[in-house]
Amino acid sequence: MHKTLFAAACAAALAGCAGTSPSGGGSDAAVRAKAVDVMKASFKERGIAKLDRLIQDETQALCSQYATTAPPKDVAARIEKANMALIKPPADGQYLGDWKRGEQVAQRGTGFQYSDTEKTPVGGNCYACHQLSKQEISYGTIGPSLYNFGKLRGFTPEMQKYAWGKVYNAHAYAACSNMPRFGAQGILSEQQLKDVVALLMDPKSPVNQ
C-alpha cells in the first residue's frame, strides 16, 4: 500500500476514535494519540512497505481531524489552495495520452503493496471506486460515475486541464476527497496521468461511447 493510501486508512481508523473516550476517560486527543501508537506498534516494515507510510502530511493531518464531518469553510479553502499549488502541468503541455493504456492503468490494482517490488506495474485501480464504461460490469460506487465524462462536459482544452488536475490532486477541488493524489504523491507517472486523462476525454474511449 502506498504511503498516501495507507495514511488514508490511518485517518479512517482515527475517525473511529474521534468523539469517544476509553473506559477510563480521556480526551479525544489522548484517544487519537493512543490509536496512532497502536498503529505504529502493529505495522511492520515488509518489502517496499516502510514505516514512513505512517507519517501524514499537512493535508492528511487536517483531514484526519475532520474525518467524521466536513471541514470548516476556512480549513477547506486552505487545503484546496495548498493542493492546487502542487498541481504541475505536463512538461510538453499535452494533456492527452493513449486511452487504451489509460484503461489498463484504470483496471490495474497493483503497485506499492508489500507483495510488490519497485518493478511491479503501478495502477490507479479506478474501477474500485468509479463506473467508467458500459463494458465493465464490476465497479465501485465510492466515487461518482465517470461514464460519458468527456461527452457530457465537452472535449475542450479547458476540460482536459480540469480532468488532469482532478486526477493529479483531487484535494485541490474538494478538500479531504477520498480520491488518492495520483500525481502530487507520485503514484502515477506523467505518462500514466496523460493516459488516464485520455481515457476520460478521448471521444473514441469506451468511457465516451
pLDDT at 30: 85
> pLDDT by residue (tens digit) across 44-87?
899 999 888 888 999 999 999 998 999 999 999 999 999 999 99
Q: Is residue 18 predicted with pLDDT exceeding 50?
A: no
Q: What are phi and psi of 46, to 5 degrees?
A: -150, 120
Over residues 86-98, the mean pLDDT reads 98
pLDDT at 63: 95
Least reliable range by pLDDT among 34-43, 51-60, 169-178, 194-203: 34-43
Bridge partners (DSSP) of residue 49 are 46
Q: Is residue 11 predicted with pLDDT exceeding 60?
A: no
Chain Cα centroid distance, residue 208: 23
CATH assignment, 99-208: 1.10.760.10
Q: Is residue 190 predicted with pLDDT exceeding 50?
A: yes
Host H or E run for residue 121: none
3-state class (DSSP) for residue 32: helix
Chain Cα centroid distance, residue 77: 19
Grid coordinates given for 114: 508489500
How buried is residue 44: exposed, middle or buried, by Cβ count under 10 Å (0-12/13-18/19+)? exposed
